[in-house]
Every structure is written in structure tokens, then in C-alpha cells.
Structure 1
Amino acid sequence: MEKVADIASDIGEYIRQQRNSAKISLRQLSKLAGVSNPYLSQIERGVRKPSAEILQQIAKGLRISAEALYVQAGILDLPKGGPVGDAIRADTELTERQKQVLLDVYESFRRENHVAEATAKPPATAGEETTSKE
């Protein structure tokens, strides 16, 4: 039970940080997200744990990805791909399907390179003799 309270507190704090950095009041965000002011306040204080649907509405109000809130809430695992994956996910001109295709291609390239590196013969180090046919 303690873990659920921690997650609710963490997501509430994250929402508050995002709201403050966007310079949006609690009242403005509640209106943009379509949730009541008291309910949003309870979420930010960690008293309530919002559903995925409410998180999506809050993300829309904050103009951030719902996925970012889902990760913070523990609904989704932390996405792979680092800054490239983050940039793809943040692009507002791509559809969700286009983003997923790009992420899949990017991850396949990364896996391919990882396999190639793992199977490549390591270079000879100083002091090792190399055999050559002359």
C-alpha cells in the first residue's frame, strides 16, 4: 500500500512541477484538463492517484505527452532510445503510428549495431603477437 502512495505523490509532484514551469495556475490547468480544481489539487498533493484517462487530460492541458505522465505514474515502463526516442515522441507533427514506426526502425538499427559489435573480433592489444602470412 505504501508503494501506491509513493507513486501518487511522485506523479502529483511531477504534475505540479510541469504546471509551474508552464506558468499555469491550478485553476487554469483544471479548466484545460476538464477536472475539478479540488480533484487536481488532491492529485498534486498525492492524496489521489489519477486514472490513465485523467492523466491524458492533464497531459493535454499541460501540452506534454501523456506517455511522460504514464511513465511517472508507473503505468508504462521508461521508454528506450534516449534523446532520439524522446525527440520522436515529442514531435507534434507525427501521428502516433508514424512515431511508433520510427521508434521501431531506430531500435532495430541499435540492436543490429549491438550484435555487430558483440561479434566483431576485438583488435590486437599492445604486446600481443599477430600472425601474418608473408
Structure 2
Amino acid sequence: MAKLSMHGAVGNLGEYVRTQRQQAQLSLRQLAELADVSNPYLSQIERGLRRPSAEVLQQIAKALRISAESLYVRAGILDSEDLGPRMVEDAIALDPRLTARQKSALVDIYRSFVGMNDASSDELTEKLAHAKEDS
């Protein structure tokens, strides 16, 4: 897969963060507070003017209740092949029609079907550590 240009990756990331924020029905101010970043900084991320660190992306992902890996791919830190089935889990987590218990059950069932194990999580953690060292 071809790598995105720096500007394209940052802009794409900002659009994605804004979309996820709107789907979570959070204002910019609310997300900034939950992610422990300043309002102007988050606004700059959403407008594609800033490229946040992996740590800030992780804080934003946690606040949005999505996988940090999906943001890492959008930011160009990880390749999309590294993301794997996390997108399915994000879709489950973002579905407002499901209760927390239903979401948990669906993720467990999905993981059992695709055969996810701790080894794949360890591999992803290792790749993220290398990406952080390179940046």
C-alpha cells in the first residue's frame, strides 16, 4: 500500500477525529477536556494543521472510545495492514443501538471467530514501540 503524504495523512486524521467526535455527540470542548488537550490544539488537529504525537492520539482515542491503532493508521504511524480487525471492534463500540454488555459480547464473539490471541496484540505493541522510537 502506498504511504500517504504528510499533509494528506494529517488532514485525513483531522477529518476522521472530527467525524468520530460528532458520532460520539461530543463538542470540541468536551473532547478536549476528556482527552486532556487544549481546545485550540484539538481544533488544529481536526483542521489538519497539527500532527499530534502517538501519546496525544492515544488520549484522543481513549476519550472517543475507539482504538488508538485506527488513529495511528490515519496519522501514518502504522500501516493499514497492521490494523487488522480493530476496525470491526471500533464499529461495534460506536454503534449507539447496542448496550455496553452487548458490545462486549459481540467483541468476544468476533475475536473467537477470527482467532485473535494475545500474541497478535504483543506484535502490535512492539510495532507501536518501534514507531514511537522512530518519531
Q: Same fold (TM over 0.5)?
A: yes
Q: Pick from 115, 119, 125 the counterpart of residue 101 of structure 1.
A: 119
Residues 3 and 23 of structure 1: is their aligned pair in 2 closer, same or farther, counting only changes over 3 Å? same
Shift in Å, 1:79: 3.2
CA distance in 2, matches of 1:20, 1:10: 15
CA distance in 2, matches of 1:63, 1:4: 25
Q: Pick from 61, 65, 68 the counterpart of residue 63 of structure 1.
A: 65
Shift in Å, 1:42: 0.3
Structure number with higher helix proportion = 2
Contact kept in structure 2, 1:88 and 1:102, CA below 8 Å: no
Shift in Å, 1:5: 1.5
Contact kept in structure 2, 1:26 and 1:41, CA below 8 Å: yes
Residue 31 of structure 2 is aligned to residue 29 of structure 1: yes
Contact kept in structure 2, 1:7 and 1:73, CA below 8 Å: yes
**RMSD, aligned α-carbons:** 3.1
Residue 64 of structure 2 is aligned to residue 46 of structure 1: no
Shift in Å, 1:78: 1.0
Contact kept in structure 2, 1:59 and 1:65, CA below 8 Å: yes
5+ residue gaps, structure 1, are 105-134
CA distance in 1, matches of 2:24, 2:55: 21
Residue type of the alignment partner of 1:101: A
Residues 36 and 76 of structure 1: is their aligned pair in 2 closer, same or farther, counting only changes over 3 Å? same
Contact kept in structure 1, 2:10 and 2:74, CA below 8 Å: no
Q: Compute the TM-score of the two structures, normalised by the length of structure 2.
A: 0.61
Largest Rg, 1 or 2? 1
Shift in Å, 1:22: 0.7
Aligned-pair identity in percent equals: 55
CA distance in 1, matches of 2:18, 2:89: 25
CA distance in 2, matches of 1:80, 1:5: 21
Q: Compute the TM-score of the two structures, normalised by the length of structure 1.
A: 0.62
Report Cα offsets for 1:56-99 as digits up to 9, x if no partner: 000011000000100111111113686xx3357876779xxx74
